[in-house]
Amino acid sequence: MIVGIAVFIALFVIFIVIGFMSFRWRKGNLSDLSEWALVGRRLGPYLAWFLVGADLYTAYTFIAVPAGMFGSGALFFFAVPYVMATFAVAIVTMSSLWKKSREKNYVTAVDFVKDRFNSRTLAILIAVTGIVAELPYIALQIVGMRAVLVALFYSYADYNLLSEIALVVSFILLAAFTFWSGLRGATLTAIMKDFIILSSVIVIIIYVPLHYGGFANAFASMGHYSTISPVTHKAVPLSSAVYATLSPTLYSGYISLFILSALALYLYPHAVNGVLSAKDVKAVRYSSALLPIYGIGLGIIALFGILIYAVPAAMHMVAPSGNIAASTTDGALVVPALIVTTLPGWFAGYALLGIFIGGLVPAAIMAISQANLLTRNVIGEFRKLTPEQETRIAKWASVIFKFIALGFVFVVPATYAIQLQLLGGILIAQTLPPVFIGLFTKWLNKYGLILGWIAGIASGLFFVISANLKFGKLITSLMASPFGLLYVAMAALAINIAVAFLVTLVIRVIEKTTGKTLSA
């Protein structure tokens, strides 16, 4: 694997150089927040496509979706319809948000919320929700990146130490070029990242099935392993029929996972940040229309979780005991193990680098979007900042958020990190009423939205805790309901919207009866 490591390092150096030198591209005043964080809103449709695609097509996608398919089967295929549906959400909502943002110089969706509902309290609540929800999302990019490094250094006795050192060094370099170049660095490196990943996916999906007997052999090999039932959470023999077919008890869970995940994605600050960097509405619409191409890639990537069963050497790296669910951390090795055990060393280094920077690029964008929220919508609500102060604080905040997420990964086991990301989805979904509904109507009242947010967050946390009490640890985000198992985000959002509409209705009635305005 020495050749593979050499290729990995050489390409990584090129990646870092591009990141640092990109500040010269479309040169602007990087002391202005919209220039540093949004490239001055000058990205055309194809660059916007690459940038938003970098947000969505991440190391977590490349690692967690195949790992979920590998460990639990068809339930985790929800990621494919979710990605397809979320582009429809983008078409409906993002053009409108871009127009409003360009007109009034909004840098974040929270700028819009504050202006729309005239509420500093609501704006701060939504901003804090976005900041918190992003942290486990960044952390999961790091989980994927660490899995890549473990596979890269697997032949060395101290591979864990080497992986951790390489991870820390990489994040120091990422923080440096993000501080220096802002979103320009993320945009240009996203092009390199997407080219490497897409070419690697094409090679793997053709080469591995031809060389190892295809998917028929993969399904036939499953009987040698055991797994943990997602319903009973007990070890059961792995059957291709059970594995590939969704249990009726999980139908509602599958549907609610893909619907709420689709609604939530463009509520995340990093997705909004990518959209607001586009130069015009045409660029927003064209880039959104092109995004389903990534969905095709995701469908292929999910199949890697099945394909690995045809490769004994890769299975030995991931599940040497024969129990594929014995360690979630090992499950993260599915794709890296498939790469290093089936492909020539030089190409393995190339493909692993693609996944690795597939974590670094979105981590940079996510940290920038968190910094924007902290600066504009939290600190800026209590202190008047000059444009230079605003940008300087945002730059340092982006560095701090990256290393908070890095520390999160070293402290929290991967099992919890993955579930906490789903918890982040529950939290960010509670911002839907003021952001998405607020785009199309002013009828909702700020007090109703605040109380709805409180009800949604509180009920979501309550449902998650209740669903996990019998397990003693955070292992599921699905809850029992009269409709079967549901993703907690759906129930919490329903309560949120119901409270927001009910409180607004009551206030409207009082205002009409008394003639007094309560919501100014």
pLDDT at 506: 92
Give, as one character, the DSSP assignment of residue 480.
Answer: -
Q: Which long-range contacts (CB under 8 A, 24 or more apart) does 228-231 make?
A: 228/71, 228/72, 228/323, 228/325, 230/72, 230/75
Spatial neighbors of 338 by CB under 8 A, at least 6 apart, are 204, 208, 304, 307, 308, 311, 314
Q: Write out pLDDT tens, residues 179-189.
A: 988 888 888 88
At residue 326, φ and ψ (nearest 5 deg) are -65, -30
- Look up residue 429 and give its amino acid: A
Q: What is the pLDDT of residues 457-513, one digit of tens each?
A: 999 999 988 887 766 666 678 888 877 888 999 999 999 999 999 999 999 888 888
Count of positions (residues) in the chain: 520
Residues 324-380 have pLDDT tens digits of 655 445 567 888 888 998 889 899 999 999 989 988 888 888 999 999 999 999 999
Range of weakest confidence among 2-6, 108-112, 331-335: 331-335
- Residue 229 pLDDT: 61
Q: Which of 510, 470, 452, 213 is nearest to 342 (CA)?
A: 213
pLDDT recorded at residue 327 = 46
What average pLDDT does this structure show over 274-295? 85
**What domains can you pick out in the chain, each with its CATH number?**
2-18+31-418 (1.20.1730.10)
Q: Please report the pLDDT score of residue 472 as a whole number.
A: 61
pLDDT, tens only, 205-215: 888 888 888 77
pLDDT over 90, % of the chain: 30
Give the pLDDT confidence of 9-38 residue by residue, as tens digits.
999 999 999 988 888 787 777 778 888 888
Residue 454: pLDDT band (50, 70, 90) is: very high
pLDDT (average), residues 242-250: 73
